[in-house]
Amino acid sequence: MAELCELITDCEHKTAPIQDEGYPSIRTPNIGRGRFLLDGVNRVSEATYQAWTKRAIPAAGDLILAREAPVGNVAVIPKGELFCLGQRTVLIRPKANVVDSDYLCYLLLTPNLQAQLLGKSGGATVHHINMKDIRALDMPEMPAINVQRRVATAIKNYDDLIATNQRRIALLEQTARLLYREWFAHLRFSGHESVTVSDGVPEGWSPIPLGSIATLNYGKALKAGDRKDGDVPVYGSSGIVGAHNQALVPAGAIVVGRKGNVGSLYLSQVPCYPIDTVFYIAPEQVSLWLFLALHQLNFISSDAAVPGLNRNYAHALPLLLPTDAVRDSFQQIVAPMYEEINLLFKQNEHTARARDLLLPKLMSGQLDVSQIPLPEAEEVIT
């Protein structure tokens, strides 16, 4: 690996002080498989950025690799971004005109290199890999730079489609949230002109506790080793954490984080298996009004001795229940948005599976890439 790179540099071994605005500090949760995950990224000041980039200033085309949690996730810094390294990350700069950045990124994500990274990692509780082992990774013979770029282009087309769909999903979710706020926070719902409002409560609406309209059911333990091959999503408090061949609840359930990511919320459009770190609300009690209303609640109790969501506390949280007619009207407007979101999620799943099947074949040279157009010269980062 070291022979292919200009530098392989470790991060600072301390936590950077953060602030509301500034330069993104890339930690392991911000590194996906070929993409940076910047929602909620920590940000640092100019002074911190200068201090944390003394070893090397991360530049467009550099790779950032996660040394743990999980080992081996990696992504390429895009043009126009100024990042600094958070803890447990590594900066990798390929040799210009010898190694294509995107190609190297995808190469590191192949099963062979991922197995090497995991095999060299150690740690009693959390796997991590040492710098010397990263530098000593056994890399295959690299094809000509133009072949690398064609291969990377072929795979990147899949990732670009996934990213486009993710942006569309985010816009649809934002539209639904804004409409909820307009109707139920600002009380400008359909037909509001003819409804009397007294002390902030429209006529026919009722202040109620959450537990009177929805029951938080406990998820069921399902260890990773006990899961069988299948396409049923397994939900933990951080979202989908795996798959199983049997569902615990039908399609349409709301999943609520109970331990770990307390109060996290997910709407499963397919049958799913919520594990014991979450609650779930059964589909017969679910509406899109309820799902969006739950986002307005504070599920974290300051009185809790142990971090986690107390069921009785959650059931007592207050909601303002609109009339059936208003909720039905809202459902009719936002349901098509969530149907499209579901279709985009499915498309991304299929696209990711196709990409993952092609990745090792493209990297091994099994597939001919000679007819794939090279990226424009200005798009190539060297």
Q: What is the pLDDT of residues 21-33, one digit of tens each?
A: 999 999 999 999 9
The string of DSSP codes covering 2-33 is GGGEEEEEEPPSSPPP-BSSSEEEE-GGGB-B
Q: Which residue has the tokens 């202040």?
A: 207
pLDDT at 120: 87
Q: CB atoms < 10 A from the CB of 34, how many?
A: 22
Mean pLDDT across the chain, nearest whole number? 93
Which three-class secondary structure state does DSSP give residue 111? helix
Sheet strand arrangement including 42-44: 42-44, 23-26, 84-85
pLDDT at 139: 95
CA distance 33 to 70: 10
What's the token pair of residue 23?
A: 């330069």
**pLDDT score of 8 more than 50:** yes
Q: Cβ distance 63 to 75 under 8 Å?
A: yes
- 29-63 pLDDT tens trace: 999 999 999 988 999 999 999 999 999 999 999 99
CA distance 241 to 312: 26
CA distance 60 to 78: 5
Tell me the whole-structure pTM to 2 decimals: 0.83
- Of the candidates 58, 153, 142, the one whose C-alpha atom is nearest the C-alpha of residue 99 is 142
**pLDDT score of 293 more than 50:** yes
Share of the chain above pLDDT 90, in %: 84
Which three-class secondary structure state does DSSP give residue 374? coil
CA distance 21 to 42: 9
**pLDDT score of 124 more than 90:** no
Question: Between 1.10.3470, 1.10.287, 1.10.10, 3.90.1640, what CATH number should domain 145-194+322-364 receive?
Answer: 1.10.287
**For 96-110, what is the mean pLDDT?**
95
pLDDT at 291: 98
| Cα 160–chain centre separation | 16
Helix ranges restricted to H, the chain = 46-52, 101-108, 111-120, 131-135, 145-180, 288-294, 311-315, 324-364
- 193-214 pLDDT tens trace: 999 999 999 999 999 999 999 9
CATH code that applies to domain 206-321 = 3.90.220.20
**For 236-258, what is the mean pLDDT?**
95
Domain with CATH 1.10.287 in the chain: 145-194+322-364
CATH code that applies to domain 5-142 = 3.90.220.20
pLDDT at 306: 63
pLDDT at 57: 96
Share of the chain above pLDDT 70, in %: 96
CA distance 18 to 43: 5
What's the token pair of residue 259?
A: 């331990």
CA distances to 86, 121, 368 from 126, in Å: 17, 9, 40
Task: Count the residues in the chain.
Answer: 382
Which residues, at least 6 apart from 227, have a Cβ–Cβ distance to it below 8 Å?
Answer: 234, 242, 243, 244, 245
CA distance 68 to 91: 14
Select the more confidently predicted residue: 123 or 85.
85
pLDDT at 121: 86
Domain with CATH 3.90.220.20 in the chain: 5-142, 206-321
pLDDT at 382: 41
**For 337-364, what is the mean pLDDT?**
93
pLDDT at 370: 83
**For 231-260, what is the mean pLDDT?**
95
Burial class of 210 by CB neighbour count within 10 A (0 to 12, 13 to 18, 19+): buried
pLDDT at 40: 84
